[in-house]
Amino acid sequence: MTLWNGSYPFYPGANACFPFDTTRAVIVTVFLSILVTFIIILPGIRGRGRLFWFLRLVLGLFMGAVVLTVQFTRDWETGWVQANTSYKAFSHVQVNADIGLHIGLAGVNITLRGNPVKQINETINYNEHFPWNFGADYDRSYSEGLEKGLPSPILYVAEKFSTQSPCGMHRQYRIAGHYASLVLWLAFCTWLMSILLFSMSILLYGGHMLLLTATLILFSLLLFFTARNTLKCPIQFGPVSLRTDYGESFWLTLATGLLCLLLGLGIIVLNSVQPEKLKLIFSLDKSSEEEVWDKSCLPAEPSCSAQDVLMVPLGELCHVTATPL
């Protein structure tokens, strides 16, 4: 029997992880609610304009949801490695675990998951977030992790991104994340302006604003690319190293930027080459409907009384004399 039954009293249990990202869930719920609300009124739209209207709705909400959601995601850059590593400081006990690194615009997430999860009489399942956004102090979060006695692999990876580390990765990712986030907020504003212009039937300027949205989105990716491709210190666990690559948020943002670029260019080209088709896509071609409406309002054949009144010459009209009372 060992002191403290083989455990160290200053180590707390593993943090309970929420099953999903609440911020992402709120954003998706709001945009899905808007989509469902507009789908309810979809049967009120006649003809083939219903399909074009539905496509515009889905594409517009998708672009806005992506630009807003990737601000808070933590998988712009991800990496995993499986290694045998020491679990706690002042202990030679090693565990087999999966170590994950997830880098976002506002901070870094480090996960530690045992293989199996139950080892050395403990549940090894950690997910720790260390922020570097405005108003957050990364070094303070790292110091709090030291005080809590987080497992050694998490502290080792987190130390690589601290300001005291000679690697310099904190400054690179922090500045790139700040500017990329700022540019994405501008892209969200230009997306809102494009939706407003399209709703006001100002198609050309709406296409220009959509093209500006695409430019801002792609520029935010370029900012993050500069931090991703700088020299970084190796994160080594024995014979294996933790390597990262672009995550889902990066590729989703790239796809959204290219989609905005294609739609913006398509609207501008159609407006100059075939404006009639562009008006048809946006349900603005009302000439045929007005013609049908005019024909329906006119009588099929004018009545005889109307013809008589219109055909009588002015000279043959009877003079009416009024007798004063």
Q: Over the stretch 234-293, which tens digit does the pLDDT of each residue have?
A: 888 888 999 999 999 999 999 999 999 999 999 999 999 988 888 888 877 654 344 333
Helix (H, G, I), strand (E, B) or coil at 247: coil
Residues 48 and 161 in one domain: no
**Angle in degrees, 0-180, between the axes of helices 49-69 and 22-40, rounded to the nearest 10:** 170
Residues 96 and 165 in one domain: yes
Measured between alpha carbons, how far is 195 from 26 in angstroms, rounded to an integer?
21
8 Å CB contact between 28 and 65 = yes
* Structural element, H or E, at residue 216: helix 203-228
Nearest to 100 by CA among 117, 125, 119: 125
* Lowest-pLDDT range of 144-158, 206-220, 310-324: 310-324
Q: What is the pLDDT of residues 32-53, one digit of tens each?
A: 898 898 888 877 777 667 788 8
Residues 46 and 128 in one domain: no
Measured between alpha carbons, how far is 273 from 103 in angstroms, rounded to an integer?
45
Range of the domain at 87: 77-170
Query: Is the pLDDT reported for residue 54 higher than 90?
Result: no
Measured between alpha carbons, how far is 258 from 260 in angstroms, rounded to an integer?
5
Nearest to 227 by CA among 179, 283, 186, 195: 179
Q: What is the pLDDT of residue 181?
A: 94
Query: Is the pLDDT reported for residue 156 higher than 70?
Result: yes
Residue 9 lies in a domain: no
Residues 91 and 146 in one domain: yes
Residues 227 and 153 in one domain: no
8 Å CB contact between 94 and 83 = no
Q: How many domains does the chain fold into?
A: 2
Query: Is the pLDDT reported for residue 144 higher than 50?
Result: yes
Residue 17 lies in a domain: no
Residue 193 lies in a domain: yes
> Among residues 170, 192, 223, which one ends one of the domains?
170
Contacts of 205 (CB under 8 A, 6+ apart): 197
Sheet containing 94-103: order of strands? 122-131, 107-119, 94-103, 77-86, 245-246
Q: What is the pLDDT of residue 149?
A: 86
Residues 278 and 200 in one domain: yes
Residues 59 and 82 in one domain: no
Residue 198 lies in a domain: yes
Helix (H, G, I), strand (E, B) or coil at 47: coil
Residue 305 lies in a domain: no
Please give the distance of CA 23 from its chain centroid, rounded to a whole number: 12
Residue 240 lies in a domain: no
Residues 136 and 86 in one domain: yes
Residues 150 and 58 in one domain: no
CA torsion, ordered 12, 17, 18, 21, to nearest 10 deg: 120
Nearest to 150 by CA among 99, 81, 78, 75: 99
CA angle 131, 134, 136 (to 5 degrees): 40
Report the DSSP beta bridge partners of residue 240. 237
Residues 164 and 181 in one domain: no
- Its pTM stands at 0.78
**Euclidean distance between the first and final Cα of the chain, in Å?**
132
Q: What is the pLDDT of residue 7?
A: 41
Residues 222 and 274 in one domain: yes
* Structural element, H or E, at residue 100: strand 94-103
Residue 315 lies in a domain: no
Q: What is the pLDDT of residues 81-118, one digit of tens each?
A: 999 998 887 778 889 999 999 999 989 999 999 998 88
Residues 182 and 165 in one domain: no
Maximum CA extent, the chain: 133
* Structural element, H or E, at residue 111: strand 107-119
Measured between alpha carbons, how far is 243 from 159 in angstroms, rounded to an integer?
16
Place 21 in a pLDDT band, splitting at 50, 70 and 90. low
Residue 318 lies in a domain: no
* Lowest-pLDDT range of 179-183, 198-202, 274-278, 297-301: 297-301
